[in-house]
Amino acid sequence: MTAFDAIARRRDELAAIRQDIHAHPELGMEEHRTAELVARKLEEWGIEVHRGVGGTGVVGVLRSGNGEAAIGLRADMDALPMEEANDLPYRSTAPGRMHACGHDGHTTMLLGAAQYLAETRAFNGTVNFIFQPGEEGCGGALAMLKDGLFERFPCGQVFAMHNRPGLPVGEYAIRSGPTAAGGAFFDITVEGKGSHGARPEAGVDPVLAACHIATALQSIVARNMPPMETAVLSITKVTGGDAYNVIPQTAKLSGTARFFSARARGLLEEGMKRVAEGVAAGLGATASVDFRLIFAPTINAPEQTERFAAAAAEIVGEAKVDRTKAPGMGSEDFSFMMERVPGAYLHVGNGDSATVHNQHYNFNDAAIPYGAALLARLVERELPKGAQG
Ligand SMILES: [Zn+2]
Ligand SMILES: [Zn+2]
């Protein structure tokens, strides 16, 4: 029996795990119940478990044979702070929290692979099952790395996947090189001098300065970025003032920047400081920019991309593996793990569902065997049983 068939037989058992996680969503770095569920399942299947890696992260270690090669497979576990609009028997039981990015499915697919590999052990070496907390801008990957993830659990290569609405179930998409953008969050604080709304000459208006800064910032991507670089700078939050007749002391602009290279990130960060400080100074105010790198660009290593795609093609046939997926402007903090260890990140079809981060989104349980079997076969291909350690 193939790995796919063996895992597909467990469809109902795995779907029940997925729906249980879906019904109990937890925000980033607070995945206590989810982490415990994962740890207990791994223990039940005879896998060595390490809890509390980088906060609520869990690592399962499965060894077979005498091989010294090790592979890391990573899934994310966190939900989003939003209200679910689906009418499902297993809809979110936590108000204001929802598995709207399918991390319930990612966790389940990795569990499915772990269960199969623990049973069959048709590989030679070590598999590290990495269940990561806080992917949604909460620094979960960095927290695990800071906690010595790859020192404690060395991996020669790492792999992860994300579901993709719009891509049919049973299909995969991947690309070598840049596949998801790097991302930063920023806050720009504009300091003026508060005064009466009817007496602007007595103060320095930070709201006016913030408005000019917001407009001028758009010149960075348009005029400073080389046209062949891809970058986005979005101001998504403007705050300042509390009253109709008070010119406030401060105003604030916040938002996000996205980029595919360190060069573009540098141009954005330096450009924002130059423009914000310069425009504010021209109007008699001051501005300070707090630019925080949240995600590195996700860059797939060519060799690991090829290996991931080849394992996928073995399961569904070459025609259902798109190896030329266009890069997306979304971000993924698995990028930080791939900065340390060569790896690849692949998309698995979620069928005709709402888009991720939408209140009507739901992970498609039919995709579970495709994700789980791919991870399992990848291990068997990369750590072949005949190989000596
Ligand atoms: Zn997400
Ligand atoms: Zn996600």
- What string of pLDDT tens digits covers the 389 residues of the chain? 999 999 999 999 999 999 999 999 999 999 999 999 999 999 999 999 999 999 999 999 999 999 999 999 999 999 999 999 999 999 999 999 999 999 999 999 999 999 999 999 999 999 999 999 999 999 999 999 999 999 999 999 999 999 999 999 999 999 999 999 999 999 999 999 999 999 999 999 999 999 999 999 999 999 999 999 999 999 999 999 999 999 999 999 999 999 999 999 999 999 999 999 999 999 999 999 999 999 999 999 999 999 999 999 999 999 999 999 999 988 999 999 999 999 999 999 999 999 999 999 999 999 999 999 999 999 999 999 986 55
Tokens of 306: 């090829």
CA of 331 to the centre of ligand 2 (A): 9
- Residue 94 is predicted with a pLDDT of 98
| Ion ligand 1: residues, CB < 5 A | 101
Q: How close are the terminal C-alpha atoms of the chain, in Å?
A: 27
Among all ligands shown, which has an atom nearest to the Cα of 103?
A: 2
As given in the structure block, the two tokens for residue 20 are: 């249980």
Maximum C-alpha span of the chain: 83
What burial letters (b/e) apply to 104-137, b meaning 16+ CB within 10 Å? bbbbbbbbbbbbbbbeebbbbbbbbbbbbbbbbb
Instruction: In whole angstroms, give the CA distance from residue 74 to residue 344.
Output: 11
Which residues, 6+ apart, have CB-to-CB distance to 164 below 8 Å? 173, 347, 348, 349, 350
Question: How many A from CA of 151 to the centre of ligand 2?
Answer: 26
d(CA 35, CA 41): 10
28 residue type, one letter: G
Q: Is the dihedral of CA 191, 193, 194, 195 positive or negative?
A: negative
Residue 387 pLDDT:
66
What is the number of other CB atoms lying within 10 angstroms of the CB of residue 92?
21
Is 116 in a helix, a strand, or coil? helix
- 109 vs 115: CA distance, rounded Å: 10
pLDDT of residue 389: 54
Ligand 1 center to 114 CA (angstroms): 23
- CA–CA separation, 389 vs 385, rounded Å? 10
Ligand 1 centroid–CA 306 distance in Å is: 25
Ligand nearest, relative to CA of residue 137: 1
Backbone angles phi, psi at 56, to 5 degrees: -95, 15
CA distances from 378 to 27, 53, 158, 166, 216 (A): 30, 24, 11, 24, 49
CA atoms within 13 Å, Cβ hemisphere of 191: 5
Q: Find out whether 341 and 158 touch, Cβ atoms under 8 Å.
A: yes
Whole-model pTM: value is 0.90
Return d(Cα 56, Cα 349) in angstroms, integer: 28
Distance, CA 281 to ligand 2 centroid (Å)? 40
Closest CA to 200 of 319, 284, 259: 284
CA of 50 to the centre of ligand 2 (A): 23
- Residue 124 is classified by DSSP as S
Ligand 1 midpoint to CA 338 (Å):
18
312 phi and psi, to 5 degrees?
-65, -45
Residue 250 has phi, psi (to 5 degrees) of -135, 160
Alpha carbon of 25 to ligand 2 centroid (Å):
13
